[in-house]
A = this chain, B = another copy of it.
Amino acid sequence: MILILNQNVSEELKNDLRKEVTSKGLKIHESQGEKTTIWGLVGDTTRIDEDQIGIHPAVSEVKRIQKPYKLASREMHPEDSVVEICGRKIGGGHFDVIAGPCSIETKEQIIEVANDVKNSGAGLLRGGAFKPRTSPYSFQGLHGQGLELLLEAKKATRLPIVTELMSTSHIELFGDVDVIQIGARNMQNFELLKEVGKLKTPILLKRGLANTLDELLMSAEYIMAGGNENVILCERGIRTFETSMRNTLDLSAIPMLKKKTHLPIVIDPSHAAGLRWMVEPLSLAAIAAGADGLMIEVHNNPEKALCDGAQSLTPADFDALMKKIQKSVEFFRELR
């Protein structure tokens, strides 16, 4: 972090600032010019709040050089992280597909879809028991009963399961869940992040609709700082001015995150556009851009789905897509 001091700052103010900075364990490297005094702060500046130090009466400008996250940063951990889930791997060259319905509706539904996606080659099963819905009048999920049905589908197919946790008060129900999803709307629900940071379960952390990549990594840092380093990042579309799709999938997030962090990155093309016919081109583009995995909604009867049918593939469509996904993964593995 670089502090540019005000011209003609008094020694008293400089001393006060020096005390504040060194009290946080940082060293100061002063560069004294004719007019400008510049301080380079050396040490762990993640503990310094730029806005706060910027209003010290001795300070004219603050420029952060170091990233505000550590555990999530590529600098601290140059090798790709690989997250293991019941023997399956995501990251560091390992690619996998998470598939299943938006919400768990009945035992028949979830088991049928689970069998279908497994046969097509999906590595993990998704299904929502607690559903974040914009309207209080929309279907909110089957809650505990939904989790039980999902566990039955896991037993029937041996697919590890991925499902969303919306509140710290439900956490004890998630003991047998293989990957806990933190949804986009809860990306900055910091109390929830702290709680899942205490677990060992892998966390699929979705980027918020209007959150920067650095904020996504700060939320990952919350989980990792608590001791849980099994974090998978997920880009699912951001909010822009464009109205012809639900959200704008930010595929440049993939190479940028690969530069910033060692954590694996999964893309959710189903939620991004909200349109099933877009899932294929966006899935293939995600692979081409270097994604470590995909998360795709599949429903055995999309027209009658209780949630997000418009973006769900039928099992037959998913099967056709999986063949293209597998070929593409292989193609790009060789190309690079």
Contact = CB atoms under 8 A, between A and B. Distances in A.
Interface of A: 2, 4, 29, 31-34, 36, 38, 40, 46-47, 49, 51-52, 54-57, 61, 63, 65, 68-69, 130, 132-138, 140, 166-170, 185-186, 188-192, 194, 208-210, 212-215, 218, 221-222, 225-226, 238-245, 248-252, 254-256, 259-260, 272-274, 277-278, 281-282, 284-290, 302-303, 305-310, 324, 327-328, 331-332, 335
B281 A212 contact: no
A136 B225 contact: yes
Given A212-B242, A242-B250, A252-B249, A49 B281 contact: no
A40 B40 contact: no
Nearest to A57: B303
Contact of A241 (B52, B241, B307): B241
Nearest to A70: B137
A210 B303 CA distance: 30
A166 B168 CA distance: 11
Contacts of A289: 281-282, 284-285
A54 B221 CA distance: 29
Nearest to A312: B55
Given A210-B210, A212-B243, A281-B288, 9 more contacts: A31-B33, A33-B40, A55-B303, A68-B134, A167-B192, A212-B241, A239-B241, A240-B250, A284-B335
Given A238-B240, A256-B245, A169 B166 contact: no
A248 B240 contact: yes
A191 B212 contact: no
Contacts of A256: 244-245, 273, 278
A188 B134 contact: yes
Contacts of A242: 212-213, 238, 250
Contact of A188 (B68, B132, B281): B132
Contacts of A327: 335
B40 A29 contact: no
A248 B245 contact: no
Given A309-B51, A309-B55, A335-B324, A272 B245 contact: no
A245 B252 contact: yes
Contacts of A140: 190
17 contacts: A29-B36, A31-B31, A31-B38, A38-B40, A46-B135, A49-B135, A51-B310, A52-B308, A54-B310, A61-B65, A132-B188, A136-B218, A140-B190, A214-B243, A214-B244, A241-B241, A282-B289
